[in-house]
Amino acid sequence: MTATDPTDKPKGPLAGLLVIDLTRVLAGPYCTLVLQDLGATVIKVETPQGGDDARHYGPFVNGKSAYFMSLNRGKRSIALDLKAPADRAVFERMIGRADIVVENYRPGTMEKLGYGWQALRTLNKRLIYAAVSGFGQTGPYKNRAAYDMVVQAMGGVMSLTGHDDGKPTRVGTSIGDITAGLFGTIGILSALEHRHRSGEGTMVDVAMLDCQIAILENAIARYAATGQVPGPMGARHPSITPFEALKAADGHMVIAAGNDQLFARLADALGKPALAKDERFKTNDARTRNHGSLKAELEGLLAARPSTAWLAILDKAGVPCGPINNVAEALADPQIVARGMVVTTDDPVAGTLKMAGNPIKLSGFADPATRGPTPELDGDRAAILKELGL
Amino acid sequence: MTATDPTDKPKGPLAGLLVIDLTRVLAGPYCTLVLQDLGATVIKVETPQGGDDARHYGPFVNGKSAYFMSLNRGKRSIALDLKAPADRAVFERMIGRADIVVENYRPGTMEKLGYGWQALRTLNKRLIYAAVSGFGQTGPYKNRAAYDMVVQAMGGVMSLTGHDDGKPTRVGTSIGDITAGLFGTIGILSALEHRHRSGEGTMVDVAMLDCQIAILENAIARYAATGQVPGPMGARHPSITPFEALKAADGHMVIAAGNDQLFARLADALGKPALAKDERFKTNDARTRNHGSLKAELEGLLAARPSTAWLAILDKAGVPCGPINNVAEALADPQIVARGMVVTTDDPVAGTLKMAGNPIKLSGFADPATRGPTPELDGDRAAILKELGL
């Protein structure tokens, strides 16, 4: 508990677990950030030569990377040269104490250091070892490097995103990395359950590319059932209508009237109840078949008022809808603020910086509005060595 | 272990855990699918009136929804009217035996049934209760319904996705639901760890909108550090260049040359090493500032060959790159096949259907190529009642 935490609640369900974090940049650090938000102690083991690459990604606040801070707040740092005997001894001592080790090197890198899963488990049979990589520890591409952009492209997500105008479109956030971080976290926690039963650790192997397949959702079902290859749908849903961005007098908003009852409410709220009785729009299937003409009808009506006016009317009528917020608007949204999803870190160097909170809200545990500072490279060496009795 | 599982390995680290699954459509069923893939027993409790809405979403294979099957394979089903005394008695007996209950109703619905978290924990103090909702159990919007489209829009992800041409663009897969399912799973598994320590269950409250904030990644850091509101970037990365889709002779491919060394390799492989010495392109910062002229240079060179030829050349040179696969191409990719990411379900009604496998690969546990069939509505009633001694 810190001085800024107004509650007496415990830190999180993973308190007391020690995570040795060898990860860099995004997928791995995202995984260990989630573990840290749930109470685990995370020690970043960084290279003495500059540490995590993300420390050098702009923009900077008083010389400190905002990006790095957003992913590593509350963690600790020690710089170790895993090829130098003295540092190897420290690392092995840490492994002996750890519950979890996470790395996102290219497959084979840890083995070359003598620290593959088989080697580390001889040091600590309870150790859970998670490897998050681009293509995974097996298969023909295992030795290749992958980045978010590559797996979004290869895994099919880019083929579903954007408009049918020949312009490739990337999802605007690195879901290739982030979903791998989330599946990696799930694998680690499931291995923790197994450890309670067996007393032994597990190796968790998560590939960014695999995770893209795991999120293809209805696209894969449609293709498997019909043989038709789905393409990009712009801003609408392939099989639910209206479920899309529509233009009001001042710009776009989204409306998700996912069933006949909601569509009838929408037609009423727009002042044209006859729409719900129109043969072309009576059922979801009919609306999806005639989505072009329905869109024209709806946008004709929406043109009468600005989106904020329509959002108030539709909310009152119980029709799911929302504004298309930019990042500033999203962070200022009353619901997002009320949920504690905007937190700050009180960093001695960078000052107060806003970042995303933890979306996992647990009864009985704290959800502090201020998170711990971000470690300087090697900033916790003395304390860590002391704790290890070195 | 089923007859189609060629290994002797155990089913998963969550084997023996009982999940009572009240969820419908996507976010909740995705969460319980992940739990089921990790070995948990999942019993869907459905309404007698048609069950999970997704049973009625096309396309259908022999009358059975491919979409529903892809999310509910391997689960069991019982139809219960939670307003009818006899069925309530069955439900309460199930809760007494369960480890985890998951629901994705609008907040308040379970309380109205008398089955809110406080009520259920009096039946079973070890029960972990997870609620996945649009806006969460607290805050000014808690009573509103949300769909994927709404949270993608409100949470800022749509504002980052697409091109700067005024056309709103949705991420082509329902990441609003899916990320909530993943964070929900993480919350449940962390609560399991807490239960080992305390003997008590936890309430897990996950909102789809919150999860969108949690995945904003560098957009939130950029905005927090600079005050500049990020916009859509098409198919390139905001701060790494080249990290984008580029056009070869026959169409687009992606290249992710994330640092100076990789850029030099790229310039060599394209036959123009001078590019890496050009003042405009010497550093990542310079390349990002001059991304337009760099793109023109690169596409000028790429126009000489089709993308497959370039991909082979760049792979050999160690430059991260990849094709923009559609869903059919992705599912046929040798790496994805080798990783067991395309599995089939052998359904008595629908036959063999392809679907996504489990991206969490665990040492010591099976990863079968065939998954269990999808239950008919109420299809497991007799067996479940017998197991409960009813």
Cβ(B67)–Cβ(B54) below 8 Å: yes
CA neighbor of B132 nearest in space, from B85, B183, B93, B173? B183
The CATH number for B256's domain is 3.30.1540.10
Residues of chain B with Cβ-Cβ distance to A153 below 8 Å are 245, 253-254, 322-325
Question: E strand or H helix at B154, and its extent?
Answer: helix B148-154
Strands B100-103 and B128-133: parallel
Residue at A221 is within a domain: no
Rounded to the nearest angstrom, the minimum Cα separation between A367 and chain B is 12
- How confident is the model over A70-99, as a mean pLDDT? 97
The residue among A308, A328, A348 that closes a domain is A328
Put simply, the answer to whether B356 touches A213 (Cβ < 8 Å) is yes
Whole-angstrom distance, CA of residue B327 vs CA of residue A116: 34
Percent of chain B residues topping a pLDDT of 70 = 98
- Our answer to whether residue B237 is catalytic in this structure is yes
pLDDT score, position B7 = 56
For residue B369, is it within any domain? yes
| pLDDT of A60 higher than 50 | yes
Residue A106 falls within a domain, yes or no?
A: yes
Summarize pLDDT for B178-225 with one digit per residue, the tens: 999 999 999 999 999 999 999 999 999 999 999 999 999 999 999 999
Chain segment B258-310, per-residue pLDDT in tens: 889 999 999 999 999 999 999 999 999 899 999 999 999 999 999 999 999 99
Residues B31 and B48 in one domain: yes
**Contacting residues for A224 by C-beta, under 8 A, at least 6 apart:** B66, B70, B353, B354, B355
Co-location of B122 and B251 in the same domain:
no
Query: Tokens 């007391």, residue?
Result: A16
A379 lies in some domain: yes
At B251, is the secondary structure helix, strand, or coil?
strand
Q: Report whether B288 contacts A181 (CB < 8 A).
A: no
Residue B376: name the closest of B8, B15, B50 by CA.
B50
Q: Tell me how far apart the alpha carbons of residues B120 and B100 are, in angstroms, rounded to a whole number.
A: 11
Identity of the residue in A57, A138, A172 whose CB atom sits nearest the CB atom of B239: A57
What order do you get walking across the sheet with A361-362 strand by strand? A361-362, B203-207, B128-133, B100-103, B18-21, B41-46, B76-79
Residues A184 and A251 in one domain: no
Q: What angle do CA B360, B362, B363 make, to 5 degrees?
A: 160
Position B346 scores a pLDDT of 86
Whether A374 and A72 have beta carbons less than 8 Å apart is answered as yes
Nearest residue of chain A to residue B345 (CA atoms): A224
**Where residue B110 falls among pLDDT bands split at 50, 70, 90?**
very high
Residue with the two structure tokens 């962390």: B190
- Residue, of B240 and A328, whose pLDDT is higher: A328
**Which chain A residues are Cβ-neighbours of B216 within 8 angstroms?**
173, 327, 330, 356
Q: Does A314 touch chain B (CB under 8 A)?
A: no
CA dihedral sign of residues B334, A230, B214, A190: negative
- pTM, two decimals, is 0.97
> Do A194 and A299 lie in a common domain?
no
Tokens 């080249």 found at: B242
* CA distance from start to end of chain B: 27
Residue that terminates a domain, selected from A287, A304, A328: A328
Predicted local confidence at residue B4, as pLDDT: 40
Mean pLDDT for B39-62 is 95
Q: Is the pLDDT of residue B6 over 50?
A: no
Positions of A marked catalytic: 237
How sure is the predictor about B58, in pLDDT bands with cuts at 50, 70 and 90? confident
Residue A246, CA distances (Å) to A107, A250, A280, A322 in order: 46, 11, 19, 11
pLDDT score of B8 more than 90: no
**Mean pLDDT, residues A95-110:** 97
Verify whether the Cβ–Cβ distance A154 to B330 is below 8 Å. yes
Distance from the Cα of B85 to chain A's closest Cα (Å) equals 29
Per the listing, tokens 């308190």 go with A15
The pLDDT of B21-44, averaged and rounded, is: 97
Contacts of A211 (CB under 8 A, 6+ apart): A151, A155, A176, A179, A180, A182, A183, B359
Clarify whether residues B167 and B291 are in a common domain: no
What average pLDDT does range A270-287 have in this prediction?
96
Residue among B139, B196, B339 minimizing CB distance to A210: B339
Using the Cβ of A307 and the Cβ atoms of chain B, whether some distance falls under 8 Å is answered with no
CATH of the domain at B211: 3.40.50.10540
Rounded to a whole number, what is the distance in Å from the CA of B118 to chain A's nearest CA? 11
Q: Give a yes or no: residue A206 inside a domain.
A: yes
Closest CA relative to residue B134, chosen from B184, B168, B172, B171: B184
Judgement on whether residues B99 and B178 belong to the same structural domain of the protein = yes
Q: How many residues make up chain A in this entry?
A: 390
Domain end position, chosen among B331, B354, B369 = B331
B72 in contact with chain A, both atoms CB, cutoff 8 A: no
* Chain B residues closer than 8 Å to A245 by CB: 149, 153, 158, 168, 170
Beta-bridge partner residues of B65: B60
Nearest to A190 by CA among A130, A135, A134: A130
Closest to B326 (Cα-Cα) out of A197, A230, A110: A230
Can you give the pLDDT at residue B238?
86
Nearest of A106, A142, A134, A138 to residue A212 by alpha carbon = A134
pLDDT for residue B3 is more than 70: no
Q: What is the DSSP string of B282-334?
A: SSHHHHHHTHHHHHHHHHHHHTTS-HHHHHHHHHHHT--EEE---HHHHHH-H
Is A229 inside a domain boundary?
no
Shortest Cα distance from B19 to chain A (angstroms)? 14
Question: DSSP string covering B31-44, please?
Answer: HHHHHHHTT-EEEE
Q: Are residues A210 and A251 both part of a single domain?
A: no
pLDDT at residue A241, as a whole number: 94
pLDDT of residue A6: 47
The answer, yes or no, to whether residue B338 has pLDDT greater than 60, is yes
A349-A354-A359-A363 Cα dihedral, nearest 10 degrees:
70
Residue A7: its pLDDT value, please? 56
Q: Which residues pair with A243 in a beta bridge?
A: A256
Name the average pLDDT for chain B. 95
Q: Is residue A85 exposed (0-12), middle (13-18) or buried (19+ Cβ within 10 Å)? A: exposed
In a domain, A225, yes or no: no
Tell me the ipTM for this assembly.
0.97
Contact call for residues B317 and B264 (beta carbons, < 8 A)? no
Q: Assess whether B310 and B168 both reside in one domain.
A: no
Residue A5's CB: how many other CB atoms inside 10 A?
15
Contact B127, B103 (CB under 8 A): no
The answer to whether residues A165 and A37 belong to one domain is yes
pLDDT for position B2: 37
**How buried is residue B63: exposed, middle or buried, by Cβ count under 10 Å (0-12/13-18/19+)?**
exposed
Q: What angle do CA B77, B79, B84 make, to 5 degrees?
A: 150
Minimal Cβ distance to A159: which of B321, B324, B357: B324
Q: How does pLDDT run across B121-165, given as a tens digit for each residue?
A: 999 999 999 999 999 999 999 999 889 999 999 999 999 999 999
User: Does A97 fall in a domain?
Assistant: yes
Helix A307-317 vs helix A260-269: crossing angle, to nearest 10: 130
Same domain, B35 and B93: yes
Cα distance between residue A241 and residue B331, in whole Å: 28
Domain count, chain B: 2
Residue ranges of A 9-68 with Cβ closer than 8 A to chain B = 12-14, 17, 26, 34, 38, 53, 57-61, 66-67
Shared domain for A249 and A356, answered yes or no, is: no
> Are A22 and A87 within 8 A, CB to CB?
no
Q: How far apart are CA B348 and CA B375, in angstroms?
A: 10
Decide if pLDDT at A115 tops 80.
Answer: yes
Q: At which residue do the structure tokens 């008919």 appear?
A: B376
Q: Do A90 and A52 share a structural domain?
A: yes
- Domain span at residue A186 reads 18-215+336-387
A336 has a chain B CB within 8 A of its CB: yes
Is the model's pLDDT at B114 over the cut of 70? Answer: yes
| The pLDDT of residue A1 is above 80 | no
